[in-house]
Amino acid sequence: MRHKAYGISNIGKKRENNEDSFLIVEEKNIYIVADGMGGHSAGEVASQNAVRLVDEYLTPDRITDMKADRQLLKRELTNAVLFAHNWILKSARGNKKYSGMGTTIVLCFIIGDVLHTCHVGDSRAYVITPAGIQQITNDHSYVGEQVRSGLMTSEEARHSPLKNQITQALGTPLHIEPEYNEHVLDKDSTVLLCSDGLWDMLSDDEIRDLVNENGALERICNNLILKANSAGGNDNITVILIGLLKGPDQELTETTILT
């Protein structure tokens, strides 16, 4: 299967600067969203370098080897995330201005009809079809752990005052464990990567309905941003949509916008 992708990032309505970053690398089938945190410009530095470093680690030669070895693929996606983590951690320790900076990250790599993800934090990957929406990643957050343990419902987690308390992030001095997942895509699948500025403002059903609207990926991405801002826009909002091309006559196009 071939893919087309579109990404956009928006500052939202409540923040003074945008600490989210994203990257689409069509020739490598790599798609990344990162949501930075930290004082001053530190969060922006963390997220920008996270996406840059993951891309640098996943060289064309590594990508070729990964395609031939599933276990190597999993290991290298994890290593790419840890490579970024170690750089951010070292930079924060060496510069008081960046003390405490960190970032979430969700990395997506597609081979044929299989979606491979590796993530840390609560930026999410979804697979959306006309039949429904499925969150592929688990939130590395306090409420996410409570939901997985059966101590809190998803609805309770959505309204909890602790919903933004993440338990893992790149740059944290605590031990992190990047989580790897894979999912077989069908011809009607659309992959969505997003920061919490989207999913915290919109329910899964609202996201599903917007993504399933007919139209170009650009228009759908913009509608997601508009809807999240209309719901409050409490945080920076970043989305990448990846659609599967279903016929040989369709052109492969990629457009990235940062606003």
Q: What is the mean pLDDT of residues 205-225?
A: 95
C-alpha span between 152 and 147 (Å, rounded) = 5
- Max intra-chain CA distance, the chain: 54
Q: Give 153's pLDDT tier (boundaries 50, 70, 90).
A: confident
- Residue among 241, 257, 247 nearest 4 (CA): 241
pLDDT at 79 over 60: yes
Q: Are 144 and 77 in contact (CB under 8 A)?
A: no
State whether the Cα torsion 183-189-132-179 is positive or negative. positive
Mean pLDDT taken over the chain:
91
Which pLDDT tens digit goes with each residue over 30-72? 999 999 998 657 999 999 999 999 999 999 999 999 999 999 9
Q: Give 3's pLDDT tier (boundaries 50, 70, 90).
A: confident
Beta bridge partners of 180: 118
User: Mean pLDDT lowest for which of 128-132, 156-160, 254-258?
Assistant: 254-258
Q: What is the pLDDT of residue 50?
A: 98
The DSSP code for 44 is H
H helical segments located in 185-255: 196-199, 204-211, 217-230
Which pLDDT tens digit goes with each residue over 163-212? 888 999 999 888 899 999 999 999 899 999 999 999 999 999 999 999 99
Q: Are 85 and 171 in contact (CB under 8 A)?
A: yes
Domains of the chain with bracketed CATH:
2-258 (3.60.40.10)
Q: What is the pLDDT of residue 259?
A: 31
